[in-house]
């Protein structure tokens, strides 16, 4: 995560959907640091604060998240786990690793379409013969950067078997 300045009003890099859309990624111990976001009926409450906290962890470790990959996983209507990609283990935070095949599909539009996107995504998985093991969302830019770029991309990923 980059920091904002008066000359740089964009904190998120521009997302290139062609690098992620309709692709399967094979991860072997892909590293992430984990945090949690409070939600009310799946709506994030403290997402921004958690991202600031994770950014401070990266800054202190003198790191940048590879691809700015930050995955969200709803574990209930009251909690969402956040996984921020890192290149190495970082002390003082929860470190996790993902291994397996992960299918990704990119959508564009308002977050109001999330339910529709998930139904479409699940149909695509079924048509490809994939079994869904977990569902992960990647909100590729913050709302301000999405407005600046004119596109709001959301990538949906699932570990598939």
**Tens-digit pLDDT profile for residues 61-87:** 999 888 899 999 999 999 999 999 999
pLDDT by position in tens, the chain (length 161): 444 444 455 588 999 999 999 999 999 999 999 999 999 988 889 998 999 999 999 999 999 888 899 999 999 999 999 999 999 999 999 999 999 999 999 999 998 899 999 999 999 999 999 998 999 999 999 888 999 999 999 999 999 97
Q: Kindly report, residue by residue over 14-33, the tens digit of the pLDDT.
A: 999 999 999 999 999 999 99
In a domain, 5, yes or no: no
Residue 71 in domain: yes
Domain that holds residue 144: 17-160
Q: Total structural domains in the chain? A: 1
> Is residue 1 in some structural domain?
no
Q: For residue 93, give the CATH number of its domain.
A: 3.20.80.10
- Contacts made by residues 53-62, CB under 8 angstroms, sequence distance 24+: 54/1, 54/82, 54/84, 55/1, 55/3, 57/33, 57/90, 57/92, 57/93, 58/1, 58/84, 58/86, 58/90, 61/86, 61/90
CB distance 66 to 83 below 8 Å: no
Question: What φ, ψ does residue 122 adopt, rounded to 5°?
Answer: -65, -35
Question: pTM for the whole thing?
Answer: 0.89
Retrieve residue 34's tokens.
């984990």
- Residue 12's alpha-carbon distances to 17, 22, 26, 94, 107, in angstroms, are 14, 22, 25, 24, 18
């Amino acid at each position: 995560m980059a920091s904002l300045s008066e000359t740089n009003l964009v904190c998120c890099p521009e997302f290139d959907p062609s690098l992620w859309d309709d692709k399967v990624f094979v991860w072997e111990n892909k590293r992430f640091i984990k945090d949690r976001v409070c939600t009310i009926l799946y709506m994030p409450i403290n997402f921004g604060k958690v991202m600031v906290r994770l950014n401070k962890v990266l800054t202190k470790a003198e790191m940048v998240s590879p691809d700015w990959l930050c995955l969200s996983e709803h574990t209930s209507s009251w909690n969402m786990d956040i996984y921020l990609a890192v290149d190495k283990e970082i002390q003082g935070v929860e470190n996790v690793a993902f291994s397996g095949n992960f299918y990704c599909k990119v959508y564009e539009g308002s977050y109001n379409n999330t339910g529709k996107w998930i139904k479409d995504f699940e149909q695509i998985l079924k048509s490809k013969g994939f079994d869904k093991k977990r569902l992960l969302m990647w909100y590729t830019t913050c709302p301000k950067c999405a407005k600046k770029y004119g596109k709001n991309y959301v990538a949906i990923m699932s570990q598939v078997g």
